[in-house]
Amino acid sequence: MTLDNIKPGQGGIISSIGGHGMLRRRLLDMGLTPNTKVKVRKVAPMGDPIELSLRNYVLTIRKEEASKIELKEVFSI
């Protein structure tokens, strides 16, 4: 499952980061690395962007970027 399909209040553990080049590097630099727990806090009314909580900070990314992030475990918080 990818991060863009997760509902607010749910979370998961990142298994892999897709994409290539600068996009992949940017996602990794923002802390979206494998085996990191991430929770979806909010989704904008039109569905884009998505607000995430990870590593004790809040991050907002576009839905297109979230679709590149694979989760191996999904849980409700």
pLDDT of residue 2: 93
pLDDT attached to residue 3: 92
- With the C-alpha atoms ordered 38, 73, 69, 67, is the resulting torsion angle positive or negative? negative
Q: Is pLDDT above 90 for 75?
A: no
How far is residue 12's CA from residue 38's CA, in Å, rounded to a whole number?
A: 6
Q: What are phi and psi of 53, to 5 degrees?
A: -125, 125
Q: Which of 69, 77, 74 is nearest to 3 (CA)?
A: 69
- Structure confidence at residue 45 (pLDDT): 92
* DSSP structure class, residue 49: S
Q: For 14-29, what is the mean pLDDT?
A: 92
pLDDT digits (tens, 9 = 90+) for 24-66: 999 999 999 999 999 999 999 998 999 999 999 999 999 999 9
What's the confidence (pLDDT) of residue 40? 95
- Residue 44 burial (C-beta neighbours within 10 Å; 0-12, 13-18, 19+): exposed
The full set of domains in the chain, from first to last, is: 3-76 (2.30.30.90)
